[in-house]
Amino acid sequence: MAADPPPSPRTRVVLAEAATRRTPADRVRADLTEQTPVGEALVKGLVRAQLALALRLALVVAAGLGTLPLLFAAAPAVGSLQIFGVHLPWLLLGLGSFPFLVGVGAAYVRWAERNEQDFVALIRRPEQ
């Protein structure tokens, strides 16, 4: 009959030792999940960054599309121009606005994702 292997030595685990082994990134994640004031401040910073980006791009859209009717009202000669038999205001507002809006939307997605990546990098980086 084979001999049983010797029992492994007992290990004592103390809660303080486990807490000291935590990395700073774990602490930040805990702040986020437990909704501590630090976690709330981090999330509020991300929300503020996303809101500021949305407002800036909304101003770009309002300026880009909002000034066209003003241009046509201030300079009626520009509004009466025809390209391929279609008046310029119809072309700019009807066809030109869609690529402009798609471009602004693509820029928003790219920059919003960059904000989120910066937020994740802030959480994952060790405290200094």
Over residues 56-78, the pLDDT tens digits come to 999 999 998 888 888 888 888 87
Residues 14-59 have pLDDT tens digits of: 665 555 555 555 666 666 666 777 778 888 888 999 999 999 999 9
Which residues in 1-128 belong to E strands, given as ranges? 82-83, 86-87
Q: Which pLDDT score, from 0 to 100, does residue 26 have?
A: 63
Return the ∠ at Cα 63 (arms to 83 and 109), rounded to 5°: 100
Residues 115-127 have pLDDT tens digits of: 999 888 887 775 5
The DSSP code for 5 is P
Q: Which pLDDT score, from 0 to 100, does residue 30 have?
A: 66
